[in-house]
Copies of this chain bind each other. A is one copy, B any other.
Amino acid sequence: MKQADFHNAIRILTGDAPPRVWSLIVTVFGDLAQGSGDAISGPVLSDILAPLGVRPETMRVALHRLRADGWIVTEKRGRQALHRLTPSGRTQSLAASELIYAQTRPADEAWHMLVFAPAHSAQEQSRAAVLGEEHYVPLAPGVYLGNGAANQNIDGALVLTGALGSVPIWLRDVLISPAQLSAIKDLIATLDLLATDIPGFDTTDQLQIASLRALIVHRWRKLVLRLPVVPDVLFGENWEGRLCRARVGAALEALPRPDLSTL
């Protein structure tokens, strides 16, 4: 790939909002060095990030913060620094990867609804927070939809377990904001542009691939990790998130994950 095309692809993928460096580094490790024992050397990390506009000093500061937060450990080997995920960083990274790299979000055939007694709004908010962690969808105050069979021990709730009919269009607006939807459409358009008008995926340079993957995964990661973790079917027939996930999958297939040893 010509340098001009490569930089053009990076410019298009970055858009108006250059990613935060510490967060971008988390993405790079999650994409390339999530395996037990995987490490990325200082120079390689710098080679991946430099084309994205990350200066060495900024990278050093970000790595310092990631070490302080327990995400990264750095080990000196001779004159070279080797960075790797900590065990807790790896655990968090693995959990996020399940959402980032998933091909689909299928649904269990069974669904259930929980209905609680009318409550004060503070009480309801704290219940919504707890049930949100368990991936329930809040449909109305005190009313929650869950996929799968209900846990039998739900204190004080009326529980209906069964099959879901067709999903009305308004449910999407409960699940995501207009800003989220528009960011998803943006990423679809960006990837379409790179795949067709710009030869953005047309490279075999492993470092270029690593840089491009970092940007693509990073943009998708910021979107997908903020979506409610619920089956696709709840978003209706023409769910842009499903399309975006397919486009991201195709892009990552066109830019196959480099082996760390080749970088």
- A residues adjacent to B (C-beta < 8 A): 110-113, 115, 117-118, 139-143, 145, 150, 152, 156-168, 170-171, 173-174
Contact = CB atoms under 8 A, between A and B. Distances in A.
Contacts of A143: 115, 139-140, 143
A171 B158 contact: yes
A158 B168 contact: yes
B163 A161 contact: yes
Given A115-B145, A139-B158, A140-B142, 18 more contacts: A112-B162, A115-B139, A115-B143, A118-B140, A139-B142, A139-B143, A140-B141, A141-B141, A145-B158, A150-B165, A156-B168, A156-B170, A158-B164, A158-B165, A158-B168, A158-B171, A159-B165, A161-B165
Nearest to A155: B168
B163 A158 contact: no
Contacts of A160: 111-113, 145, 160, 162-165
Contacts of A152: 165
Contact of A117 (B111, B150, B157, B168): B168
Contacts of A173: 117
Given A140-B118, A143-B115, A162 B161 contact: yes
B162 A162 contact: yes
A150 B150 CA distance: 21
A140 B168 contact: no
A255 B212 CA distance: 89
Q: Which of A140, A145, A156, A158 has the most CB of B within 10 A?
A: A158
Given A113-B113, A140-B115, A163 B162 contact: yes
Contact of A140 (B140, B156, B161, B174): B140
27 contacts: A110-B162, A111-B160, A111-B162, A112-B162, A113-B113, A113-B115, A113-B160, A115-B139, A115-B143, A117-B168, A117-B170, A118-B140, A139-B142, A139-B158, A141-B141, A150-B165, A152-B165, A157-B168, A158-B167, A158-B168, A159-B164, A159-B166, A160-B160, A160-B163, A161-B162, A161-B163, A162-B163
